[in-house]
Homo-oligomer: A and B are copies of this chain.
Amino acid sequence: MINKPLILVVNDDGINAQGINFLAVLMREIGEVFVVAPSSNRSGTSHAMTLHEDIYVNTVSSSDNIFTCSGNPVDCVKLALNKILPRKPDLCVSGINHGSNHSINSLYSGTLHGAMEATIKGVSAISFSHLSYETKINFNEYSSFIKNMCKENIDNKLLKDITLNINIPDVPFSLIKGAKICRQGRGQWNEEFVATNKKDNMPSYRISGKFISQTHDKESDSWALDNNYISIVPVSIYPDHTSHLQSFKYLENVI
């Protein structure tokens, strides 16, 4: 590559999160960086796009190419590719998320889905998450791994329609046993609904809960993370279940 690679950095925790600021600094070591991030926390927004409201774009620093958008990660990527970046980027990197996006969590993740929107548009894309939910994390020790993973994928070795979903366990780097290509572990949330203040006599809730892993499969991301491996899951933007289409043929007779 003659010119410096162009890298789009996005996240779902919003522009003020430590993770995205660390990632932007790191990416500047290997390319020309544009940051286009939500102006506030948009965790859990999955692949949601803003259809019924205006989306505002704010230039935080024109010299450092830092922008915020009032929408979700998917909106950030759409706007970046169409209205902000000078050309199609060579890579989109999302994160580093503060908290897990493995197993079923990836379906809710704005971090992963921001990257997936770039994949839809034919841009190599990687999502990074760290299993700590702390606002301050020692990302420094992962610099070399993250940088090398990004460099490896800039030249589009990635299969078409595939996004990499990478999760880092919450342990010191010295304890990391390696990186592992994984399936998604099976699991779900046991939700809790905390009653909040009623409005106009309507009950009101905040959702929280506890993630319950339902897998002990050694090929799964859940197992890898529990055993101090960095998990790398190739995720498809097309979740159709094509391996057993034949087994659904009986439904064609319903009409």
Q: Using a CB–CB distance below 8 Å, which chain A residues touch chain B?
A: 41, 43-52, 54-58, 72, 74-75, 78-79, 82-83, 104, 106-108, 110, 113, 116, 120-121, 145, 148-149, 152, 159, 161-162, 164, 176, 178-184, 186, 188, 191, 193, 196-197, 199, 202-207, 219, 230, 232-245, 247-249, 251-252, 254-255
Contact = CB atoms under 8 A, between A and B. Distances in A.
Closest 5 CB pairs of A and B: A239-B239, A46-B47, A48-B48, A234-B241, A184-B240
A3 to B, nearest CB: 24
A164 B78 CA distance: 28
17 contacts: A45-B46, A46-B46, A47-B107, A47-B108, A51-B207, A56-B199, A56-B203, A57-B202, A79-B193, A107-B116, A107-B237, A149-B254, A183-B242, A184-B238, A234-B240, A234-B244, A234-B248
Contacts of A180: 252
A104 to B, nearest CB: 6
Copies in the complex: 2
Given A48-B72, A79-B205, 15 more contacts: A43-B51, A47-B107, A49-B108, A50-B207, A51-B207, A54-B205, A55-B207, A57-B205, A145-B255, A179-B251, A183-B238, A186-B238, A234-B245, A235-B241, A236-B241
A65 B63 CA distance: 56
Given A44-B51, A52-B43, A78 B191 contact: yes
| Central interface residue in A235, A240, A245, A248, by most chain B CB within 10 Å | A240
| Central interface residue in A51, A159, A206, A243, by most chain B CB within 10 Å | A51
A152 B51 contact: no
B233 A54 contact: no
A80 B243 CA distance: 32
Contacts of A113: 46
